[in-house]
Amino acid sequence: MPKIKHIALSTQDVEGTARFYIEVFGMKKMGSIDDPGTVGCFLSDGDINLAILNFKNDQAAGVERGRGFSGIHHIGFEVESLEAIFDKLAAAGAERRHDVEQALGVGHDHRPNVEVKFRGPDGIMLDVSETGWVGTSGVGP
Protein backbone atom coordinates (compact mmCIF):
# COMPACT_ATOMS: atom_id res chain seq x y z
CA MET A 1 0.00 0.00 0.00
CA PRO A 2 1.40 3.45 -0.86
CA LYS A 3 2.42 5.52 2.17
CA ILE A 4 2.82 9.26 2.57
CA LYS A 5 6.53 9.78 3.16
CA HIS A 6 7.14 13.29 1.81
CA ILE A 7 5.49 16.69 2.07
CA ALA A 8 6.96 19.77 0.41
CA LEU A 9 6.27 23.29 1.57
CA SER A 10 6.98 26.19 -0.73
CA THR A 11 8.10 29.28 1.17
CA GLN A 12 9.75 32.63 0.66
CA ASP A 13 11.78 32.16 3.92
CA VAL A 14 13.52 28.77 3.95
CA GLU A 15 15.61 29.44 7.07
CA GLY A 16 12.74 30.82 9.15
CA THR A 17 10.31 28.09 8.13
CA ALA A 18 12.87 25.33 8.79
CA ARG A 19 13.76 26.86 12.16
CA PHE A 20 10.06 26.78 13.15
CA TYR A 21 9.70 23.04 12.44
CA ILE A 22 13.05 22.25 14.10
CA GLU A 23 12.42 24.30 17.25
CA VAL A 24 8.71 23.58 17.71
CA PHE A 25 8.46 19.94 16.58
CA GLY A 26 12.03 18.73 17.09
CA MET A 27 12.57 17.80 13.45
CA LYS A 28 16.15 17.14 12.34
CA LYS A 29 17.84 18.70 9.33
CA MET A 30 18.85 15.90 6.95
CA GLY A 31 20.28 17.89 4.06
CA SER A 32 20.13 20.90 1.80
CA ILE A 33 19.45 21.57 -1.86
CA ASP A 34 20.63 24.38 -4.12
CA ASP A 35 20.18 23.52 -7.77
CA PRO A 36 19.07 25.52 -10.82
CA GLY A 37 15.39 25.30 -9.82
CA THR A 38 15.31 25.11 -6.03
CA VAL A 39 16.98 26.16 -2.81
CA GLY A 40 15.94 24.61 0.48
CA CYS A 41 16.43 21.88 3.04
CA PHE A 42 15.06 18.52 4.06
CA LEU A 43 13.83 17.84 7.59
CA SER A 44 12.69 14.57 9.11
CA ASP A 45 10.95 13.20 12.17
CA GLY A 46 12.39 9.77 11.36
CA ASP A 47 9.41 8.66 9.32
CA ILE A 48 8.42 11.53 7.00
CA ASN A 49 10.60 13.84 4.90
CA LEU A 50 9.50 17.49 5.05
CA ALA A 51 11.03 19.59 2.29
CA ILE A 52 11.20 23.35 2.88
CA LEU A 53 11.67 24.83 -0.58
CA ASN A 54 11.98 28.13 -2.37
CA PHE A 55 11.62 27.76 -6.12
CA LYS A 56 13.89 29.91 -8.26
CA ASN A 57 11.61 30.05 -11.28
CA ASP A 58 8.02 29.42 -12.31
CA GLN A 59 8.91 26.33 -14.36
CA ALA A 60 10.46 24.51 -11.39
CA ALA A 61 7.49 25.43 -9.17
CA GLY A 62 4.94 24.53 -11.82
CA VAL A 63 3.53 27.47 -13.73
CA GLU A 64 0.06 27.18 -12.15
CA ARG A 65 1.52 28.25 -8.78
CA GLY A 66 4.76 29.97 -9.70
CA ARG A 67 7.80 30.78 -7.63
CA GLY A 68 5.92 33.21 -5.36
CA PHE A 69 3.52 30.57 -4.01
CA SER A 70 3.71 29.69 -0.30
CA GLY A 71 1.97 26.66 1.18
CA ILE A 72 1.78 22.91 0.61
CA HIS A 73 3.34 22.39 -2.80
CA HIS A 74 3.28 18.62 -3.18
CA ILE A 75 2.84 15.33 -1.34
CA GLY A 76 5.01 12.26 -1.96
CA PHE A 77 3.95 8.64 -1.77
CA GLU A 78 6.41 5.77 -1.49
CA VAL A 79 5.09 2.90 -3.62
CA GLU A 80 6.11 -0.70 -4.26
CA SER A 81 5.87 -0.41 -8.05
CA LEU A 82 6.05 2.70 -10.21
CA GLU A 83 4.52 0.84 -13.15
CA ALA A 84 1.48 -0.26 -11.09
CA ILE A 85 0.89 3.21 -9.65
CA PHE A 86 1.34 4.80 -13.11
CA ASP A 87 -1.58 2.66 -14.33
CA LYS A 88 -3.76 3.70 -11.38
CA LEU A 89 -2.87 7.37 -11.78
CA ALA A 90 -3.65 7.25 -15.51
CA ALA A 91 -7.00 5.53 -14.86
CA ALA A 92 -7.83 8.29 -12.36
CA GLY A 93 -7.02 11.00 -14.89
CA ALA A 94 -3.82 12.24 -13.22
CA GLU A 95 -1.46 13.79 -15.76
CA ARG A 96 2.29 13.34 -15.53
CA ARG A 97 4.16 16.62 -14.97
CA HIS A 98 7.01 16.23 -17.46
CA ASP A 99 7.37 20.03 -17.47
CA VAL A 100 8.25 20.17 -13.76
CA GLU A 101 10.38 17.01 -13.95
CA GLN A 102 12.38 18.56 -16.78
CA ALA A 103 12.80 21.89 -14.95
CA LEU A 104 14.04 20.07 -11.81
CA GLY A 105 16.03 17.37 -13.62
CA VAL A 106 14.12 14.51 -11.95
CA GLY A 107 11.86 11.67 -12.99
CA HIS A 108 14.16 9.71 -15.27
CA ASP A 109 15.96 7.37 -12.88
CA HIS A 110 15.48 5.70 -9.52
CA ARG A 111 18.20 7.23 -7.31
CA PRO A 112 17.17 8.11 -3.73
CA ASN A 113 15.17 11.32 -3.50
CA VAL A 114 14.23 11.23 -7.18
CA GLU A 115 10.52 11.05 -7.79
CA VAL A 116 8.02 11.10 -10.63
CA LYS A 117 5.51 13.95 -10.59
CA PHE A 118 1.79 13.99 -11.40
CA ARG A 119 -1.08 16.47 -11.14
CA GLY A 120 -3.60 15.30 -8.56
CA PRO A 121 -7.04 16.59 -7.61
CA ASP A 122 -7.40 20.28 -6.78
CA GLY A 123 -4.09 21.07 -8.48
CA ILE A 124 -1.97 19.43 -5.77
CA MET A 125 1.17 17.94 -7.25
CA LEU A 126 1.92 14.32 -6.31
CA ASP A 127 5.30 12.59 -6.22
CA VAL A 128 5.66 8.82 -6.43
CA SER A 129 8.89 7.02 -5.61
CA GLU A 130 10.03 3.44 -5.10
CA THR A 131 13.12 4.53 -3.19
CA GLY A 132 11.70 7.05 -0.72
CA TRP A 133 13.19 10.27 0.59
CA VAL A 134 16.08 11.06 2.89
CA GLY A 135 15.06 10.75 6.55
CA THR A 136 12.12 8.43 5.91
CA SER A 137 11.97 4.89 7.25
CA GLY A 138 14.77 2.91 5.70
CA VAL A 139 16.45 5.82 3.87
CA GLY A 140 19.42 7.40 5.63
CA PRO A 141 20.90 10.86 5.20
Q: In a 3-state reduction of DSSP, which class is residue 60?
A: helix
Give the right CATH number for 3-129 from 3.40.50.2000, 3.10.180.10, 3.30.56.10, 3.30.565.10: 3.10.180.10
43-63: per-residue pLDDT in tens?
Answer: 999 989 999 999 999 999 999
Quickly count: other Cβ atoms within 10 Å of residue 25's Cβ. Answer: 10
pLDDT of 122 reads 63
pLDDT of 54 reads 96
Number of residues written out for the chain: 141
pTM as predicted: 0.73
| pLDDT at position 80 over 90 | no
Instruction: Please state whether 122 falls in left (phi above 0), alpha (psi between -120 and 50) or beta.
Output: left
Average pLDDT, the chain: 86
Could you tell me the end-to-end alpha-carbon distance of the chain, in angstroms, rounded to an integer?
A: 24
Domain residue ranges of the chain, discontinuous segments joined by +? 3-129
